[in-house]
Amino acid sequence: MTRRQVKTLMMMLIEREQGKSIEQLMLESFRQHGTERGAADAMGITQQSFNVWKYRLNLADEIEAIRQLLLEQAP
Residue 20 to residue 7: CA distance in whole angstroms: 14
Task: Delimit the domains of the chain by residue range.
Answer: 9-73
pLDDT value of position 75: 78
Question: 16, 12, 25: which is closest to 62 by C-alpha?
Answer: 25
Q: What is the per-residue pLDDT across 38-70, written as a single tens digit (0 to 9) for each?
A: 999 999 999 999 999 999 999 999 999 999 999
Q: At what angle do helices 47-56 and 60-73 cross, to 10 degrees?
A: 120
Please give the span between the terminal C-alpha atoms of the chain, in angstroms, as a whole number. 52
